Structure 1
């Protein structure tokens, strides 16, 4: 009979049968379940749940199923009568029904997941509980929180529950940054490919939250960048989960964490639940990590040997056999021969004689030497860095090899004449404009590593002076804050594309206001 198969399965699982017994309890309580819901509720991998379902007499209603009430007495002695460990903030949830309703709408309206970035959406309930746990464990009024990647929209949950918290998001996905900005909750957004660096304005935070790609390389990188963004006494909250069937993978990830010399303050099992990720039970633990005196040297060492492959899927998957970039696909010297570059940026064949710079160095600070012609190799899967690579250049000509790069954003047309063909982009720097908004805008974009608002202010003052008018620094700051309140502490290199797209109109507004004032 079916009960014999269930008892055999539970006996083989031994002490780990607790998960299966929980699933069996739910199936016998009269409710209807679908497979994703049962996986998520029990935090048990899909394969393990399916092994139980094969042994049970199920009645079905469409995609849903349950153990028929007539059969439930057969399994009473096998059920897990005690519930799983308590959720540390479950008692707070009833006080926030309107926040949960808002988060449900926000999650439903968010950009679709990108599998090449290992996106899996957390449930609205999960992001609310993250915000509640932060407030229950730490004093948030006036605190600074950094979200290292935020496809889950944890930043919005925190601002809804704790509006007095200062929140910044760094993410490589432009769609997420634009979506978060569009909610008007006061979250700062910064573009960052964490393999290339952390934005200068994303430092000195009290807390960091991250839900990274679930590979040792991905977890190690995201947590290292989170530590970079912290004050010495900060904390990192990490979501990470693995299937109960793959303890070795969990061990490798925890080894990557151990190499960073972090103290484990807490770990909440199965705290995070997801709309997907059924291979790991649609669940992940929540770690609370505290840096020690040995953490920062370990982070520096870890980042010094960073590889680009950190994901489980796509061209930058850890196990991908695809070459990392066009400069490694064979002899590429013919692609840059006519350019005769003074400098090579990225990974190039060793036989090329030119001096070279790392992509991370190129984006972090202005290159020390004056290079007139630059060739850049962008690895597959890192094409979102293209606008920043061009902004970071001060050369008259730049050639970028990037096979799958999207069309360059329109704002770059204020700096370069652009020609795109067959995975090669040629950018030729335009002459300096003479006066007006174009001159101010160009000065801002040419100083891509400088604080945008500072360059803007000085450009307005210089423009006023050229018109025999006087403009103080405070007056210039007031004009800029009126037109672009998002511009403080932001550099063009780290600005999301939607903010760069808004820059020409904002600059024009300040110049028009200046003209009206001086007139």
Structure 2
């Protein structure tokens, strides 16, 4: 058999031909492969695998292929003689076949990946092995784990394997948060756009795990937020992969990690496998990182220069925002990296504020405007000191998911929202705001009058205090209802009624709550009012 091309390819790769030899060994096993399967199994980039396939004589069956069994002896002296680096938890997998079956079903039914969020689904085996590695490396009973983004559903794997672990997920994707809650495995869910901040209820964890967008900007942001969510002696587990052809990309990412003054306790090569991401071999390493005494100051410094461009696709990709900024002569918004005219939509700044005498500007507005202003992140982090009645909010492209929270963060009578693709107001906010279009890319949200009726009054009080803990506001409102009825209700009695109606309500604020929780809030409030009446 002619094999000169294979030999030249292997010789050219030198010591790094180990990947190619492993892929060749897989082709010679007698098993049929698709390109995606071979890429994932060998953890080798698609381009590198394709270079091998061009030199090997294959037999084919549709989109599947292999080296013919009669030809495999010709390649035996070229094959890798050792297995890939040992999987530290491979020996545990046979004991968790039932968990793998459950995870396989959960991953299959999970919300579809969103291209603009750089979603690529990890395999069920990967999320199970993450849970097993956590348990092999750390003592998990009673430990607190924070999943910084969790499209892969690692949180569910951890609860299935280590049910005594306290697990919290923060994510910008409402579908992911709702799906995790539907499984009722005891995972806490919090909404957060990490470019704008980390919820206060997502702090003080022992461990954090993240599989972020694979850009230096995305890695830097997600790891910085993971550190924010840790105790001083915590650890961060990071999934990150790059093609063997592009070591400079990995170098830039590792520079981001170095700037955060993190210690590399371990790197598990090719630990994570994916459905897709063939450009990086459908695989990623798993980093185990430990903060030092210099990490938190570095994190704060990193977050002060945060932009929203962290993805590889969509309106907030690093490439598209860089091109847009360059085309505008560098006059982009500090927050978004987009030209100022794009941040506020086609109407432009002057038209957006025409006929609207704003007391306060939120977000990125031109310096020439005289009104006081506040950053989006500050707006969400704490109540504004004054009480403005008319607020204008610039919503940058890619941050539209924050719109409900930007509205909840104020009690202003009239809020004007300005952006390029503003979504409709979710029904969960309809008890508070009436919204109308005021022009292209402009929405006017007018605060509704205070409602009548006990349940509606309690619900509105909760929504009006969006920076406060939801359960605390609910408790005080229930006590007030009881007093109006001529009865007394202790704080402990009120807490008990709330936990029975909404066991998810502890510690989070309305700003942190996923929309599906806010949507179910009126029904839960009504249950506590009914229970209060029955009890008293």
Give the whole-Å Cα distance in 2 for the aligned partners of 1:262 and 1:330: 45
Residue 450 of structure 1 is matched in structure 2 by 468
Q: How does 1:245-394 map to 2 (within 5 A)?
A: 245-320=245-320, 321-322=323-324, 323=338, 325-327=342-344, 331-394=348-411
Question: How far has the Cα of 1:183 moved from its partner?
Answer: 0.2
Q: How does 1:387-406 map to 2 (within 5 A)?
A: 387-406=404-423
Give the whole-Å Cα distance in 2 for the aligned partners of 1:72 and 1:411: 63
Question: How far has the Cα of 1:330 moved from its partner?
Answer: 7.6
Question: How far has the Cα of 1:403 moved from its partner?
Answer: 2.3
Per-residue CA deviation, residues 397-425 of structure 1 (Å, 9 max, x unaligned), is 00111322222111211111211353221
Residue 330 of structure 2 is matched in structure 1 by none
Give the whole-Å Cα distance in 2 for the aligned partners of 1:183 and 1:453: 23
Per-residue CA deviation, residues 484-512 of structure 1 (Å, 9 max, x unaligned), is 11000010001000000000111111111
Question: How far has the Cα of 1:479 moved from its partner?
Answer: 0.9
1:348 aligned counterpart, secondary structure? coil
Residue 533 of structure 2 is matched in structure 1 by 515
Residue 161 of structure 1 is matched in structure 2 by 161
Any conservation in 1 of the 2:345–2:418 contact (CA below 8 Å)?
no
1:239 aligned counterpart, secondary structure? strand
1:14 aligned counterpart, secondary structure? helix
Residues 1:196 and 2:196 aligned together: yes
Residue 506 of structure 2 is aligned with which of 481, 485, 488?
488
Give the whole-Å Cα distance in 2 for the aligned partners of 1:371 and 1:180: 38
Give the whole-Å Cα distance in 2 for the aligned partners of 1:163 and 1:465: 41
1:493 aligned counterpart, secondary structure? coil
Question: How far has the Cα of 1:517 moved from its partner?
Answer: 2.2
Give the whole-Å Cα distance in 1 for the aligned partners of 2:437 and 2:495: 38
Any conservation in 1 of the 2:144–2:207 contact (CA below 8 Å)?
yes
2:285 aligned counterpart, secondary structure? strand
Give the whole-Å Cα distance in 1 for the aligned partners of 2:428 and 2:491: 26
Any conservation in 2 of the 1:435–1:463 contact (CA below 8 Å)?
no
TM-score, normalised by the number of residues in structure 2? 0.95
Give the whole-Å Cα distance in 2 for the aligned partners of 1:166 and 1:48: 42
Per-residue CA deviation, residues 124-167 of structure 1 (Å, 9 max, x unaligned), is 00000000000000000000000000000000000000000000
Give the whole-Å Cα distance in 2 for the aligned partners of 1:85 and 1:430: 62
Q: Which moved more, 1:420-429 or 1:496-505?
A: 420-429
Give the whole-Å Cα distance in 2 for the aligned partners of 1:109 and 1:41: 23
Residue 101 of structure 2 is matched in structure 1 by 101
Any conservation in 2 of the 1:204–1:229 contact (CA below 8 Å)?
yes
Q: Which moved more, 1:67-76 or 1:211-220?
A: 67-76
Residue 9 of structure 1 is matched in structure 2 by 9
Q: Any gaps of 5 or more consecutive residues in structure 2? A: 325-337
Q: How does 1:388-427 map to 2 (within 5 A)?
A: 388-420=405-437, 422-427=440-445
Note closer, same or farther for the CA distance 1:267–1:438 as it changes in structure 2 (3 Å cut). Answer: same
Give the whole-Å Cα distance in 1 for the aligned partners of 2:29 and 2:530: 69
Any conservation in 1 of the 2:126–2:273 contact (CA below 8 Å)?
yes
Question: How far has the Cα of 1:433 moved from its partner?
Answer: 1.9
- For the aligned residue pairs, the C-alpha RMSD in angstroms reads 1.1
Give the whole-Å Cα distance in 2 for the aligned partners of 1:465 and 1:132: 52
Per-residue CA deviation, residues 231-268 of structure 1 (Å, 9 max, x unaligned), is 00000000000000000000000000000000000000
Any conservation in 2 of the 1:111–1:179 contact (CA below 8 Å)?
yes
1:492 aligned counterpart, secondary structure? coil
1:76 aligned counterpart, secondary structure? helix
Q: Any gaps of 5 or more consecutive residues in structure 1? A: none
Per-residue CA deviation, residues 207-237 of structure 1 (Å, 9 max, x unaligned), is 0000000000000000000000000000000
Give the whole-Å Cα distance in 1 for the aligned partners of 2:310 and 2:343: 19
Note closer, same or farther for the CA distance 1:330–1:256 as it changes in structure 2 (3 Å cut). Answer: farther
Residue 328 of structure 2 is matched in structure 1 by none
Any conservation in 1 of the 2:360–2:390 contact (CA below 8 Å)?
yes
Any conservation in 1 of the 2:344–2:419 contact (CA below 8 Å)?
no
Any conservation in 2 of the 1:207–1:230 contact (CA below 8 Å)?
yes
Residue 479 of structure 1 is matched in structure 2 by 497
Any conservation in 1 of the 2:346–2:420 contact (CA below 8 Å)?
no
Give the whole-Å Cα distance in 1 for the aligned partners of 2:89 and 2:205: 24
Q: How does 1:141-152 map to 2 (within 5 A)?
A: 141-152=141-152
Any conservation in 2 of the 1:328–1:348 contact (CA below 8 Å)?
no
Q: Which moved more, 1:399-408 or 1:109-118?
A: 399-408
Question: How far has the Cα of 1:119 moved from its partner?
Answer: 0.1
Any conservation in 1 of the 2:346–2:441 contact (CA below 8 Å)?
no
Question: How far has the Cα of 1:435 moved from its partner?
Answer: 4.0
Residue 449 of structure 2 is aligned with which of 416, 431, 435?
431
Residue 441 of structure 1 is matched in structure 2 by 459
Give the whole-Å Cα distance in 2 for the aligned partners of 1:361 and 1:318: 24
Question: How far has the Cα of 1:108 moved from its partner?
Answer: 0.2
Q: How does 1:122-271 map to 2 (within 5 A)?
A: 122-271=122-271
TM-score, normalised by the number of residues in structure 1? 0.98
Question: How far has the Cα of 1:335 moved from its partner?
Answer: 1.2
Residue 331 of structure 2 is matched in structure 1 by none
Any conservation in 2 of the 1:327–1:349 contact (CA below 8 Å)?
no
1:286 aligned counterpart, secondary structure? strand
